[in-house]
Structure 1
Amino acid sequence: MPGVTSSRSVTTPRTPPPVPASVRTPEALSESEDNRASPVWFEVELRKPSSSSGLGFSIAGGRDEDDQMNMSGIFITRVNPDGLAYQDGRILPGDQLMQVNGIDVSQLSHAEAVQVLRNAGEVVHLLLARYPQSAGSESGRSLESRSSKGKR
């Protein structure tokens, strides 16, 4: 057709750089949890009044801990009613802590995870996973009867 021009551009898709093991994606972390139902992933940002303040929850688990619950990873065992996590309202006992400020804590020892939480600063970005049995089976109760380690 006269007066009609066509231009065609071809772009080659770029390959993103590899993600360091210390900052794995939720999808990659999900693939490593092949014995459980699919989790619901969610993010929570907590702002502490000072970097020395706690977040208001306790944790248990880690690769070095006796695994009485037959689960690996770092789990929220208790949410302190006077703490930041309780005020925020999204974190529940049974939730699995996956990342703290982009650092993968899912394969850390208990002591390493506590250290990451303590060094997180005043603004703490958390990535958590909630498995279907977490919310229903515990219904907000403390898991401390099973484990009492790691108050944060």
Structure 2
Amino acid sequence: MDPLQFLVPLGWLAAVGPVLPYAILVMAVANLATRHVAYKRHVEQGADEDSVDAYDPHAFTNIGLLLLSFLFVLHAPVGGTLLAILVITMLIADLFEFEARNVEARNDMPIEAPKSAIAASLLVVVYAAYYALFFLVSGVWNQFVVA
């Protein structure tokens, strides 16, 4: 018996659950791509204006990744919680990096790359790839696991 079965109807999750790691991996890679485009846009805005604007597709991938990771917590509690912690860390780093870009634009400083947010999003991509693509290395991995 699932302890959440009376609070949340989880029947639909059985159909969607196996696809979630792949959706998370795609969203994490899209997040890296939109982060790169947002950085280029911030550099252009920093040269022209006193502030930078948030890039809407990047905000969409951030929120989508957060929602997918919370949904993944229901399907795989341990793996989902680890992923959710990484995604929340990435979002916090992204928030601070965005504010740092605003300060750099306001003070006519060169716009730097969001290094901590890139590192956090790379951790998310690596963990999502490990979880989604584990079947590629499971044969080798299981040879080293002592039963």
TM-score of the pair, normalised by structure 1: 0.24
Which one has the bigger helix percentage?
2
TM-score of the pair, normalised by structure 2: 0.25
Which one has the bigger strand percentage?
1
